[in-house]
Structure 1
Amino acid sequence: MTKKIHLSIISFILKKPILLLNLAWIIVNLGLFHEYGIRVVHDSHRYIAYANSIKLGTPLWHLSDSIFYASYSVILYIFLHVLTLPIYAVIIFQTITSAIALICFYKTIINLTANRITAFICSSLFILWPELHMWNLYIHTESLYVSITIIILYLLTTRFWHIRTLPLLMIILIVSVFLRPNGFFLVLGAIISCAVYIIKKSNLRLTINQLLFPLAMVLAILGYGATEAFEVYSPLQYLLQGQVLQGYNAFTIPIEAPPLIESQSVFRQMLTVFFNQPFNYFKLILMRFLLFWAQIRPYYSFSHNACIILFFVPVYVAAIYGFWKTRLNPKYLFLSVVIVLQTVMAIAVAVDWDNRFIVPILPFVFIFASIGFNSYFRFTNATKDI
């Protein structure tokens, strides 16, 4: 009897997965809107000022510290000044884009695993974690950045990406670069993913020596990008204050500021701090890493932290198992590259107080977790080669 019920549930899920997922997504988003409404917070006013700058013809929106938010500034300008719509129109746009991303997310898992149960598990994890959808209600870059990340992954995993979707992929990648300063992570992940795809498709067998040059080029680009980013968005303040969580002084690692030369680059000043007290620096980096992935916060309520632990402990365990199962499969390279780069950025700069730095990579974690769950429990429609 129990087996028949189990099979009938699976059969229904396989027949109407998108319908069920969309209904759940609508319920979650309506519940969040009812609870929190539209959120215009500190950074929101900065983005609105950039949009006003475009209208007034002033350079504020394309200065060195604002140009990498230009995509969002233009979107706000179009809605608020060209179409003269109220602020909630932007929220509707972000929410619709998030709905499109959910469909792309489900189809991405189908493209990756050819397994509808895995796709349903993964999409369910995505829907069930409310902090992913809360950002749809904010005048902030997070919602669109998460949606664009998923759409890029979908385009990369679609079977005919190189013929039909390459122009669209390139446009979206350009938009992502100017949506957030870490948008170039998506570009780098896409380049590496496409390069591996082309190498595999051409049956090229490269030696270690032949791989050293492109690897050195990638590291050089990363190094240059990090150095330039540090000059604009300097993490030195958070480092010298020993902040594990950005803007939170109740939990710090003691860092003694050595004599610094202001004419030197921020990166060299950070190296000076590191060589002056490597133990404390490593301790700071370790604590940032742990809190970045744990997501719990000392100022959250007990119930909030408990929900995070109960939800993410099994997800992380399954994700590690899923990653191990797919570690040799180049289809998952984009996910791994972006996860690593986003983690390095967070621990180098400072872990944000509201967990928003981890939000863009949670869908990727859910992909690995769903593969892990399905590989372990071996649901119907499981595939051997994922």
Structure 2
Amino acid sequence: MRIPDSVRGLAQRLWPHHRVLLAGLWVLVQLVFLRKFHGPHSANDSSRYLAYAANIAECGYFEPGHNLRYVLYPLFQSLWLWLGLGWWGIVAGQMAISALATRAIYRGTRQLAHGGSGAAALATLLYIGWPDIQQFNVFLLTESLFISLVALSFGAFTRIQRGRPHDWALLVLVLTLTALARPNGFMVPLAAALAGLDALRRAPNRRPWRAALLGLVLLAPLLWAALNHQLATYYLMDTYQRGELIFRYQLWAVHQAAPLQMPPNGTGPVARVVYFAVHNPAYLARLMLGKLFVFISYLKPHYSLAHRAVGVLVLWPAYWLAARGTWRTIIWRPARVFLAAVFLLQAAIVMLTVDDWDVRFLAPVLSMVFVLAALELQRFRKAR
């Protein structure tokens, strides 16, 4: 279909100002959600985070146990509470970091596109326009900060291509903060480590690669202990027994055909999962595939038909484009490994745990999909 000359002319006149237009759209989206939720929005676990933040702000008390796995967000909230700015200060801070994350998506994509602004503008437009990403900026939950930190990690990762020491320092800082934002935050530095290992494996000098493998072997007991610590406060066996694909939602569940063999009492968290997998392989495979479908499909039972339709019409093609983009050698390989690993590791975590009724687990990694899809779409456009 031929684009009318008037439309093409308007696009050509507006294109030099596309960054200003994207910034204006970002501001408009924030105002829309502020109005929709009548300002800062308290939901689900908000009271838990706010109570933790108040303890930090008032007496410097860091609560142990499960809440410590989310320590960065209460610490972030405590700053605004200590300054006396309350909920509005928290949301303003979240929006400021979201603005930086949006800029990181644009700049990082443009660098991977070798200066091409088309892919950068498209990835940024999708990041701004996708409602299940930006709406979290007004929620008093960890999602906004975590989504922004994942995007900032991508931006910082693309900067190390220049090889400057301060870019490496920035990457380490952002990856550390991301790991502290949520219990699954470790997957982002892990994705960066996998990209680094892949680069070492392909380097002419094999000594660093062999040294890295030796280091992993030596660190294996520490990594095992860390994973056990992360899983200690989760009751995975209960969700496995209930066959839940979505937490506390029984209408979508996998039912066992035979009694399940459960791990004996006293087994460690990771060993319990391994035991269950070995003794119930078919059931666990069905459970994990069901969770994967729920995670990526966007067909959540509580969503409206229009919401699901948008997901199918936009996300499903984006997944296909992103998968193709992952194999494009024109894109800097470490970035491709990083982007794909972030998404795949998050999917693996959901498959081993349980998904939520909304897309709070998918939203943080959608930016990785949008970047790869935009880069691949730019290739299509150039090939025509």
Could you state the TM-score of these two structures normalised by the residue count of structure 1?
Answer: 0.87
* Cα displacement string for residues 159-187 of structure 1 (whole angstroms, at most 9, x for unaligned residues): 44532233333332222222111122222
* Cα displacement string for residues 84-143 of structure 1 (whole angstroms, at most 9, x for unaligned residues): 112111111101111111111100011111211111111111122111001101111111
* Mapping 1:352-371, distance limit 5 Å: 352-371=356-375
Q: CA RMSD in A?
A: 2.9
Q: Identify which of 357, 372, 376 aligns with 1:372.
A: 376
* Mapping 1:311-330, distance limit 5 Å: 311-326=314-329, 329-330=333-334
More deviation in 260-269 or 99-108? 260-269
* Mapping 1:154-303, distance limit 5 Å: 154-158=155-159, 159-160=161-162, 162-194=164-196, 203-205=204-206, 213=214, 223-255=224-256, 256-303=259-306
Q: 8 Å contact 1:108–1:153 — kept in the other structure?
A: yes
Per-residue deviation, 1:372 = 1.9
Unaligned 5+ segments in structure 1 are 381-386
Q: 8 Å contact 1:155–1:161 — kept in the other structure?
A: no
In the alignment, residue 173 of structure 1 is paired with which amino acid? L
Q: 8 Å contact 1:67–1:178 — kept in the other structure?
A: no
* Mapping 1:21-170, distance limit 5 Å: 21-37=22-38, 38-57=40-59, 61-80=62-81, 82-114=82-114, 115-158=116-159, 159-160=161-162, 162-170=164-172
Q: 1:12 to 1:321 in 2, by over 3 A?
A: farther
**Structure 1 counterpart SS, 2:66:** coil
Cα distance in 2 for partners of 1:342, 1:370 equals 21
Per-residue deviation, 1:227 = 3.0
In the alignment, residue 277 of structure 1 is paired with which amino acid? N
Identity of aligned residues (%): 23
Per-residue deviation, 1:4 = 5.5
More deviation in 37-46 or 156-165? 156-165
Cα distance in 1 for partners of 2:285, 2:12 equals 51
Per-residue deviation, 1:379 = 7.3
In the alignment, residue 96 of structure 1 is paired with which amino acid? A
* Cα displacement string for residues 333-379 of structure 1 (whole angstroms, at most 9, x for unaligned residues): 22122122111111101011111111111000001111221122227
Q: 1:213 to 1:154 in 2, by over 3 A?
A: same
Q: 1:116 to 1:181 in 2, by over 3 A?
A: same
Q: 1:250 to 1:138 in 2, by over 3 A?
A: same
Q: 1:197 to 1:250 in 2, by over 3 A?
A: same
Q: Identify which of 325, 347, 353 aligns with 2:351.
A: 347
Per-residue deviation, 1:244 = 0.4
Cα distance in 2 for partners of 1:332, 1:126 equals 18
Q: 1:350 to 1:54 in 2, by over 3 A?
A: same
More deviation in 281-290 or 181-190? 181-190
* Cα displacement string for residues 190-218 of structure 1 (whole angstroms, at most 9, x for unaligned residues): 33434555777x75357997775466578
Cα distance in 2 for partners of 1:335, 1:145 equals 16
**Structure 2 counterpart SS, 1:351:** coil
Per-residue deviation, 1:253 = 0.8
Number of positions where the alignment pairs a residue of Structure 1 with one of Structure 2: 377
Could you state the TM-score of these two structures normalised by the residue count of structure 2?
Answer: 0.88
Per-residue deviation, 1:245 = 0.6
Is 1:20 the counterpart of 2:24? The answer is no
In the alignment, residue 18 of structure 2 is paired with which amino acid? P
Cα distance in 1 for partners of 2:337, 2:136 equals 27
Cα distance in 2 for partners of 1:198, 1:10 equals 44
Q: Identify which of 330, 335, 339 aligns with 1:331.
A: 335
Cα distance in 2 for partners of 1:63, 1:364 equals 32
Is 1:307 the counterpart of 2:306? The answer is no
**Structure 2 counterpart SS, 1:87:** helix
Unaligned 5+ segments in structure 2 are none
